[in-house]
Amino acid sequence: MFKMKFFLLSIITFIHLVAFDAFITPSKLKDSFENKKLIILDVTTKEIYKTGHIKNAIHADISLFRDIKEPSLLAPKEKIEQELKKLGLNSDSLVVIYSRNSEQSILSSSFLALVLIQGGFENISILNGGYMAWVFENEFLVSSEPSYAQNDGNVTLTKTNILVDLEYLKNNTSKIMLLDARSPMEYFGVEKSKDINAIGHIPHAKSSYYKDKFLKDNTLREKEELEQIYIEGHELQPEDEIIVYGDTIYSASMEWYILYKHLNFKNAKLYEKSFIEWGNLDNAAVTRFKWE
């Protein structure tokens, strides 16, 4: 039974790889460099972008995709669409997103990936190992001259059911696998998450720290290890419904991206307001000091 699961997952992932890797290697990106449909987006700050970036990469300001009043939420669909058009995105573009090595930058890349996928745009990839890995392998293909889109793109977004709210979560906690992407200390309840009153985790959630899926050089772990984490460790199957949350949408977005895009768990969803909503509710139901 177990072997069968692995086999099926491997087949699905194989087909997927041929289309576009969820995490693209620097050498594969280099091979696609002449592709006219390629758009490379750098999610670091404008200042750092100006000091050097991958050749032809356009700076993408993450804050433009957030709700002005509530930064843990996405901006309205129309606003997102408008910003993506400014970046030159067409419906058939191939988008590669990359970051620097800081935690904030890494999570900005998965946040932008989430913004695109939840809008129905799936031709995207995150550069494995980020800018450092690129520089290490292709040191000449960098530039400090800012690049901009030549023309506005024509991308249109659709509505998906990837982002879920509190109501959905409450109605489904008992039947859905809930994954907590924060650190084990925050999950177990010996450390507080920033700006959140409650300590611990949402009842029945399992600890699944997004950082554990990466090696020390910020490249993704081998597929075999990731399968060990999710299929053996969490006993998940590809068709299972999963809800991921973090302290905010950012930490959740990377955990979600790995599941949805890299491992092809197509029923992986994300609790948009995450623990910063749940943990600040009056009488929030929270479990502490317990591994589940």
Partner 1 sequence: MKSSSEIEAIARSLGINNDSIVVIYGHGKKKELLKSSYVALSLIVNGAKNVSLLNGQYDDYAREFKVEKETPKVKKGNFTAVYNPDILVDLEYVKSHITKIPMLEARSPEYYYGTELSDGVQRAGHIPKAMSSFWKDKFNKDNTLRSKEDLDAIFMQGYALQKEDEVILYCTGGLEASMNWYILYQNMGLKHAKLYDASMKEWGNRNDTPITKFKWETFTK
Residue 292 interacts with partner 1 (CB under 8 A): yes or no:
yes
Residue 6 interacts with partner 1 (CB under 8 A): yes or no:
no
CA distances from 259 to 7, 22, 62 (A): 17, 10, 22
Helices then strands, counting H and E runs in the chain, come out as 11, 12
Residue 68 interacts with partner 1 (CB under 8 A): yes or no:
no
> Using CB under 8 A, which of the segments 60-68, 95-103, 254-262, 284-292 binds partner 1?
284-292
Nearest approach in angstroms of CB 233 to partner 1 is 4
Residue 289 interacts with partner 1 (CB under 8 A): yes or no:
yes
Dihedral of CA 38/35/24/128: which sign? negative
Residue 2 interacts with partner 1 (CB under 8 A): yes or no:
no
> Using CB under 8 A, which of the segments 93-101, 108-116, 162-170, 183-191 binds partner 1?
183-191
User: For residues 259 and 238, what is the distance between their CA atoms, to the nearest angstrom?
Assistant: 9
Stretch (H or E) spanning 110: helix 103-118
Residue 103 interacts with partner 1 (CB under 8 A): yes or no:
no
Nearest approach in angstroms of CB 221 to partner 1 is 9
Residue 192 interacts with partner 1 (CB under 8 A): yes or no:
no
Using CB under 8 A, which residues numbered 221 to 240 contact partner 1?
A: 225, 228-229, 232-234
Residue 149 interacts with partner 1 (CB under 8 A): yes or no:
no
Task: Find the Cα–Cα–Cα–Cα dihedral 108, 114, 120, 124, rounded to 10°.
Answer: 60
Number of amino acids touching partner 1 (CB under 8 A): 18
Closer by beta carbon to partner 1, 52 or else 184? 184
User: For residues 145 and 22, what is the distance between their CA atoms, to the nearest angstrom?
Assistant: 28
| Residue 179: strand pairing partners | 206, 244
Residue type for 179, please? L
User: For residues 284 and 263, what is the distance between their CA atoms, to the nearest angstrom?
Assistant: 32
> Using CB under 8 A, which of the segments 22-30, 119-127, 142-150, 204-212 binds partner 1?
204-212
Residue recorded with tokens 């670091």 = 44
Residue 188 interacts with partner 1 (CB under 8 A): yes or no:
yes
Write out the residues near partner 1 by the rule CB under 8 A.
Answer: 184-185, 188, 190, 206-207, 212, 225, 228-229, 232-234, 288-292
